[in-house]
Amino acid sequence: RKLMFDLNQALREKRTKYQKRQHKVILLHDNALSHTAKLVRETIEAFTWEVLSDAAYSPNLAPSDYYLFASM
């Protein structure tokens, strides 16, 4: 939970558009137990972050496939 608070604070300091809520945070994670715990869900809701769930253990759905890198 502390890590999430630190991330939220860093976003506020470094991303001015985030602080003004012009851009939202989309958190990508699988459905591991540590990611879906009640405390984590409540913290995500408090920060109004959106969750993009990823299927656990799916190498065919790697984060690099989400247009993070330009086409080769």
Residues 26-72 pLDDT 10s: 777 777 777 778 988 898 888 888 887 766 656 665 666 565 555 54
Superfamily of chain region 1-67:
Ribonuclease H-like superfamily/Ribonuclease H (3.30.420.10)
Q: What angle do CA 66, 48, 31 make, to 5 degrees?
A: 50
Mean pLDDT, rounded, for 13-34: 73
Per-residue confidence (pLDDT) for residue 59, from 0 to 100: 61
Domain ranges of the chain: 1-67
Q: What is the pLDDT of residue 52?
A: 79
CA distance 38 to 13: 27
The pTM of this model reads: 0.55
